Amino acid sequence: MDKAKRKQLIEIAKSRGYTDMAPPRVLVTRQEFFDGNDDDGSIGCNLIEHPGIATFDAAFRQVEEMDRVAGVYLAITEIDETYDGIWPFTDTALIVTRLPAAVFEPLFRPLQPDEIASSDESFANPPEIPAGYQLIRAWWD
């Protein structure tokens, strides 16, 4: 884990409105979340067979590169500053897209999300959603 990048991510989340797990949650980009992150507990932490952080990042990179996708974000759920070896935690990835949720099911199968569906959650720093696009979430319990 790159501790300087962890610290930078925490500062970014706080500057966007993160306040101790209280809603609304804040969004960070895929790159901000995964750059320097090697903590399997930061996403999909309840998976019995965790595919690894690199697998999550690769899947989200693939989605980012798809036509009719305007962005991929991670919603910061918790930041534990007590231990510097714990990366900020998310249970939700969000995709700004014109595509239906079902398109992402085969791509995310190795990540084992509990749900892939449209999202109406409000965020402290909502993403720009172009006309005709929607917000799809992938969620891990």
- What pLDDT, in 10s, does the model give residues 4-51? 999 999 999 999 999 888 889 999 999 999 999 999 999 999 999 999
CA distance 133 to 98: 4
b/e per residue 56-88 (b: at least 16 CB within 10 A):
bbebbeebeeeeebebbbbbbbebeeeeeebbb
Burial of 39 (C-beta count, 10 Å sphere; 0-12/13-18/19+): middle
- Full domain range(s) for residue 39: 3-139
Task: Please state the pTM of the whole predicted model.
Answer: 0.94
- Side-chain-facing half-sphere of 132: CA atoms under 13 Å: 5
Q: How many domains does the chain fold into?
A: 1
Q: Hey, which bits of 49-88 come out as E strands? A: 69-78
